[in-house]
Structure 1
């Protein structure tokens, strides 16, 4: 069965510094995304997911971000089924990221 993996915040921080190819998708609501998100992430919802699936490389690792790391697990599992080779759910979500890396939040 195709599934996703959990990713912790320190690892994502390292990856953002070192890995050039990484797709960061944020599934929070538009207002929350506008108020702050991880730099380089794109908001994904029911309207934009089709375009993302068409455009994104199946080989590029995908990291799914939500509020606390719960709903991102369902989205990550769904993306894995769509054929993405490496899919991660960010444990702790954006809330935890913002607490640990307030300097790495784009508004």
Structure 2
């Protein structure tokens, strides 16, 4: 049953979208000992919080927007994020930047 896509707001059939990019689940899984890197799923309606390795999904985006997120954001972000010892391209890029914007008294 079609609903409105959260990105384009068009009424379309929604895909089962990952709440967090799939590559980030893999990165979290490499972070430490078994279960140490599991995410905490908080269910406000039930008042519960449980540790889980389950990749959370929700009917959120249409196929076109899901594809845009993947091609124009998630794929690039996954390549420049921490990939293991000595491979963290984004860190290098951030260290090369000079703070130049003031927000609430802090340089950004």
TM over 0.5: no
Name the structure where strand makes up a greater proportion of residues: 2
TM-score, length of structure 2 as denominator length: 0.21
TM-score, length of structure 1 as denominator length: 0.21
Name the structure where helix makes up a greater proportion of residues: 1
Mark the structure with the bigger radius of gyration: 2
**Larger RCO, structures 1/2 (Cα 8 Å, 6+ apart):** 1
